[in-house]
Structure 1
């Protein structure tokens, strides 16, 4: 975040009207949320998996789709060894239903194969196949979480364009915030997003995430909103505190919410699920 910083933090809205890019309008059914990040290694897939478990506990029908088509790792986080992946669906070797597996935590997952170089570029064929999969699955669930790749590649941006909401994961490190700013700018300019929801992972102190959101908001107001000709608002959804139990769960390939549900990070994930349910999944949302 190289443009400007200020200690005077503007308030950020708790919720906002859904800003839906054109692509998302062709998908009906579940609320589709893209979980993305500007930088890799910030815990995006960890958030996707544990958020899915927390939403499932609240009675939601949840599907997590591994949308990182080139460098998929959701299977590693969940310690799953699928015989059928999204690659098999795309090549006609299996149906979508055959590729869906039940994850620890009770939610459904559709996994992509790692190292799929042919899917690292957004060709018309990949676009159509991916859209067809989403369209067929969305009516069967309350929530579809798209665990996208990091950054602003064509594949990532297309995955995000299928979602009505964007949940961007960042950490307090300057490199993560710089890349988060870049990703938000692209979403505002290319997809005409009017708001992006922000989760700060590995927060050192309570309140860090809200302060970071305010600082990013000031930079966006100055440089992005003016350029786009419309306001862009960050919505602070919560902080996941730095917690040694997170690393332990990741190393064991277990969901934090199942292994140590009472630890600070797990409680924060449960709070995030509650906030998403109340702001995005309630009948009035």
Structure 2
């Protein structure tokens, strides 16, 4: 059993408090799959843990979870077991190699691919149980704009969109941001550009997206949506090597260019989310 969360006393029902997107919860999301979102989530968590933060990553991709694959973990208990009452929340939390905690989802759970009232209630209960025990909770969401993804994102105080320089990734990132602005009234979206070829490419890409948003996406009259460039993660052979070995790059190759970039990203997240009063 994980020591971070104490079990609910026997016979006492768990009563979650009200959920507001004000806690130190960061949703890591993307418009397109395959851009390295889960890889970024896991290594960002390791970088934050290295800085002394108490971090949990929740695999919020309830239908196609793969955080366990990235971390080379074989969980006996998953979110599915917590949702169905077969296990308690504290029993499903495990320690990852990078010094942070994870709450893993099972893959291929069709019943969680749609946002039913039960899924919504279960998700709220889980988040309520986690928030008091960690400095920051990362939600590794699915890609795209399904109702499950959007609901997970709605629980976060901040959103980090991961994209690559590929046109399809940027088109889908724009579509995702547009929906987040329209449906969740997001005014600030943070971006990290993965697999960049040259230093400065990511900032240029973010600026281009900002120009498109300024023209076509209106938050409120006289109020613009603001994209904040959080950094570039350069294309690095060490990334593929870590993925193929199912290892955390931050622990096995901390001096490689991509790992150094994620360390810088962790510093910015720490300054803007963790050390800032909510």
* Same fold per superposition (TM over 0.5): yes
Contact 2:23–2:157 (CA under 8 A) maintained in structure 1: no
TM-score by length of 1: 0.89
Deviation at 1:27, TM superposition (A): 4.2
Residue 62 (structure 1) aligned with residue 55 (structure 2): yes
Which residue of 2 is the match for residue 275 of structure 1? 268
Matched position secondary structure for 1:71: coil
CA change 1:120–1:28 in 2 (3 A) is closer
Higher RCO (Cα < 8 Å, 6 or more apart): 1
Question: RMSD of the alignment, in Å?
Answer: 1.6
Matched position secondary structure for 1:254: coil
Which deviates more from structure 2 when the two are superposed, residues 225-234 or residues 57-66? 225-234
Which deviates more from structure 2 when the two are superposed, residues 221-230 or residues 182-191? 221-230
Which residue of 2 is the match for residue 213 of structure 1? 206
TM-score by length of 2: 0.91
Distance 2:135 2:20 in 1: 13
Matched position secondary structure for 2:218: helix
Number of positions where the alignment pairs a residue of Structure 1 with one of Structure 2: 262
Distance 1:150 1:28 in 2: 20
Distance 2:255 2:193 in 1: 20
Which of 89, 93, 96 matches 2:89?
A: 96
Distance 1:89 1:78 in 2: 21
Which residue of 2 is the match for residue 132 of structure 1? 125
Distance 2:39 2:25 in 1: 18
Deviation at 1:229, TM superposition (A): 6.3
Contact 1:29–1:138 (CA under 8 A) maintained in structure 2: no
Structure 1 consecutive aligned stretches of length 4 or more whose deviation exceeds 3 Å: 27-30, 226-230
Matched position secondary structure for 1:145: strand
Which of 167, 175, 198 matches 1:174?
A: 167
Which residue of 2 is the match for residue 223 of structure 1? 216
Matched position secondary structure for 1:63: strand
Residue 149 (structure 1) aligned with residue 142 (structure 2): yes
Which residue of 2 is the match for residue 78 of structure 1? 71
Residue 257 (structure 1) aligned with residue 241 (structure 2): no
Which deviates more from structure 2 when the two are superposed, residues 166-175 or residues 228-237? 228-237
Q: Deviations over 1:14-40 (max 9, x none)?
A: xxxxxxxxxxx7248851000000000
Contact 1:171–1:200 (CA under 8 A) maintained in structure 2: yes
Distance 1:60 1:30 in 2: 15
In the alignment, structure 1 segments of 5+ residues that lack a partner are 1-24
Contact 2:21–2:154 (CA under 8 A) maintained in structure 1: no
Deviation at 1:259, TM superposition (A): 1.2
